[in-house]
Amino acid sequence: MNLLYPVLLSSVLWLAGCATVTPDAANTAEAETPAVHTPRYPNGALSPITRTQVTTPGVASLSAPADLWDRIRRGFAMPDLDHELVQDREQWYASRPDYILRMTERSSKYLFHIVEELERRGMPTELALLPYIESAFNPQAVSSAKAAGMWQFMPATGTYFDLKQNVFRDDRRDVLASTRAALDYLQKLHGMFGDWHLALAAYNWGEGSVGRAIARNRKAGLGITYAELNMPAETRMYVPKLQAVKNIVNTPEAFSAELPLIENHPYFQAVDIKRDIDVELAAKLADVTVSDFRALNPSLSRPVIFAAGIPQILLPWDNAKVFERNLDAYGKGQYSSWTVWTVPSTLTVADAAQRVGMSEEGLRAINNIPPRMVIKAGSALMVPRTASTLTDVSSQVADNGHVAFAPEIVTRRTTVKAQKRDTLASLAQRHRVSVANLADWNDLKVGASLKAGQSIVMFLPMRASSAVATARGPRAGAKVATSARSTKAQPQTSKKGGTPSKVRKR
């Protein structure tokens, strides 16, 4: 064993000597293989860089972002639009510092979540600024074309992207759901057009409109970039507005703009709820005001949250734990003061209120029932919760609840004299009532024969009975007597009327 150590030591020294290069040998190797430097020249003509390109780093920074604005700047990835309309919008915003401050302060609740989602999807962070253009970051904003929420979804497009819209909530206003849908839509549009400017034009104008504009330009041998397409004034200004906001965010000092500090930290947390709960109680347990609670949960349109439809609520980061502790300690048993009653048949508001033990004014107020309307069968009405209705609202009702109304028709008792060869069927057709109702009003059988001059009672709408009373000639019926004192409110079903509103976007 003692002989083994010298042998090993000598072997190691021999191997080390083989691997060692003398200084002279190293110098000789360097002299024989000089370093080669190949200069690189740009292809094509040089063009000036933009203000954004000067301040946007070309490589990833090792330091953490100073705030959320810094983080957004680092993710700028869309090509800049160099257009005179950009300068026009820059001047418009720069001349309104109070507007910029209000808008950016409002966005502080939602911006971190949007940036997180954009980075997770690998999308340009400029898109986090799009709600400034759409709604000034107001989740309750509604356009004249009925687009709603901070991302301004039209009803049909919202439905396509699985945003629930019913009598209890509108997910087009929901912070998480609408952001998910908007980024899904923008990714879809970018995949269609391969260009972010065209994708934004399609978000505002509609993908079909942009597609047709591109086809027209191709047919005419024209360019198909955003600046070259023929589009409405609103869409023409759309990307310049976003570029102007991007430039202000990138270098606010150049525009004498003040951006409020937004920490690079989540503003809110999602908290699970397992029971229906009043909005006021949820806000109280979280130790926030009702207005602050609704700002983070803007999709709610009623004073109660149905857990089957909205299993999570958003709360300020520091208040989430407060809510969970207070909810666990809450011992009063009842969390919700309201439930839902499905109307079994078409009813007047007075009849419905009597059935649920409410005043007519109270039922109208909580369910937004307009005057001179009856409630159609199948409508889901908010009513007070009682000892017999302790079960929480089902997911079927929470996700699909709706309220439908029909005009309340006031009728007048009218007497008509039958003419020769008149039948109940001919009188019913002439006065636009059903044969069954006419028979019932006069205690006759449907096929009963009539005598000339026989008095037939009808209940006609006010306008119709007036028209009958003043009409002349054989086609209008003969000798009509009306009673102004006898009126009767009758529910009347009607077809869904109206045409879709003009679509401004999506």
Active site residues: 134
- Selection from 61, 190, 44 nearest residue 123 by Cα: 190
SS3 444: coil
SS3 72: helix
Alpha carbons 28 and 418: distance in angstroms, whole number: 129
Alpha carbons 280 and 269: distance in angstroms, whole number: 19
Alpha carbons 386 and 378: distance in angstroms, whole number: 21
- Selection from 171, 118, 179, 130 nearest residue 148 by Cα: 171
> Helix, strand, coil % (nearest 5) of the chain?
45, 15, 40
Alpha-carbon Rg for the chain, nearest whole angstrom, is 36
Q: Are 91 and 84 in contact (CB under 8 A)?
A: no
Alpha carbons 313 and 283: distance in angstroms, whole number: 11
Q: Are 300 and 310 in contact (CB under 8 A)?
A: yes
At residue 228, what are phi and psi to the nearest 5 degrees?
-95, -15
Q: Are 492 and 348 in contact (CB under 8 A)?
A: no
Q: Are 462 and 412 in contact (CB under 8 A)?
A: yes
Q: Are 285 and 326 in contact (CB under 8 A)?
A: yes
SS3 170: strand
Question: Distance from CA of residue 295 to its chain's centroid?
Answer: 14
Contacts of 86 (CB under 8 A, 6+ apart): 240, 243, 244, 247
Report CA-CA distances (Å) from 65 to 27, 69, 243, 435: 46, 8, 22, 78
User: Environment class of residue 46 by beta-carbon count within 10 Å: exposed (0-12), middle (13-18) or buried (19+)?
Assistant: exposed
| Helix H or strand E encompassing 188 | helix 175-193
In the block, tokens 């007070």 appear at 384
- Selection from 347, 411, 408, 346 nearest residue 373 by Cα: 408
Amino acid present at 207: E
State the distance between the two ends of the chain, measured CA to CA, in whole angstroms: 87
